[in-house]
Amino acid sequence: MGAPVGLLDDIPKLSVSEGELRFALEAKFRKDHPAEKGLYWARLEDGKLKGTFEIEGDPSTYLEWTGMRAPAMPEKDDGTWKRGDPVALFNGRDLSGWQPVPPGHLVGWVVRDGALTALPGAPDLVSDKKFMNFVVDAEYRIEPHTNSGIVLRGRYEVQILDDFGQPPDTHGNGALYSRILPTMNASKPAGEWQSYDIRLVGRDVTVVLNDHKIIDRKHIDGLTAIAQNADEGEPGPIILQGDHKHVEIRKVVLTPLTH
């Protein structure tokens, strides 16, 4: 899981010497800078990777990081899950049940004509309630040349993007961002209302976009860039991505799944 912007980066060479893992990565780590070489070091301590990072030649970029093994999640979307009572996360009137990310940030979301509307530069919105296994139904509309996303458990983003007529892409509409490629591009043109039906059980995800199943019970290998935390074995919120241009969301209904 790379940085910045959460790409999945190939590491061309790694080495281990005297118990220390070392590798380098060429990437555009900073805005207004060319590609630079990031240097990573890590040691295994108490079952965790304790590491450091800095950009070659610039000690001011030094930071420390911790890597933890992802938890086992035995739940599978095997047809045995039952739907509970649906929960409307958006009431069509106001922002009740949602908070900006980070907390206290000026909220750039308003409700217009029954739709939750993000103004340009609005922060992400996170639901107060948290969920584990569920189906979420949403309806959205975007303007040309913009994107958003629906984030499952606060960790896995299903992309919203104006890419009508383009080939499927791991960063395209309907993709599990950077990780799972849709089988087709089922996008409608910008300006039209579109629908999502997203099902998550354990790490198995199914995505139906505009009545087309484009991801069918695919395994999620890890976090996406927007993730709030790495506690994958715990319930998490729904996040609506802001930060870009105009987006409207007029329905967010979540139905818990239980055995």
Let me know if residue 4 belongs to a domain: no
- Shared-domain flag, residues 33 and 122: no
Let me know if residue 117 belongs to a domain: yes
Identify the pLDDT of residue 7.
Answer: 66
- Shared-domain flag, residues 235 and 172: yes
Distance of alpha carbon 202 from alpha carbon 211, whole angstroms = 23
Let me know if residue 242 belongs to a domain: yes
* Number of domains, the chain: 2
Let me know if residue 132 belongs to a domain: yes
In tens, the pLDDT along 159-199 reads 999 999 999 999 999 999 999 999 999 999 999 999 999 99
Strand partners, 141: 248
Distance of alpha carbon 173 from alpha carbon 200, whole angstroms = 18
Find the CATH number of the domain harbouring 249: 2.60.120.560
- Shared-domain flag, residues 141 and 111: yes
Distance of alpha carbon 33 from alpha carbon 60, whole angstroms = 15
In tens, the pLDDT along 28-84 reads 888 889 999 999 999 999 999 999 999 999 999 999 999 888 899 999 999 999 999
- Shared-domain flag, residues 47 and 107: no
- Residue numbers of the domain that contains 56: 14-68
Count how many Cα atoms sit within 13 Å of the Cα of residue 174 in the half-sphere of its side chain: 30
- Shared-domain flag, residues 29 and 146: no
Roughly how many angstroms between the first and final C-alpha of the chain, as a whole number? 32
- Shared-domain flag, residues 188 and 128: yes
**What is the pLDDT confidence band of residue 233, given thresholds at 50, 70 and 90?**
very high
Structure tokens, 159: 């992309």
- Shared-domain flag, residues 165 and 222: yes
CA distance readout (Å), 88 to 67, 149, 184, 195, 239:
36, 18, 29, 15, 14
- Shared-domain flag, residues 36 and 135: no
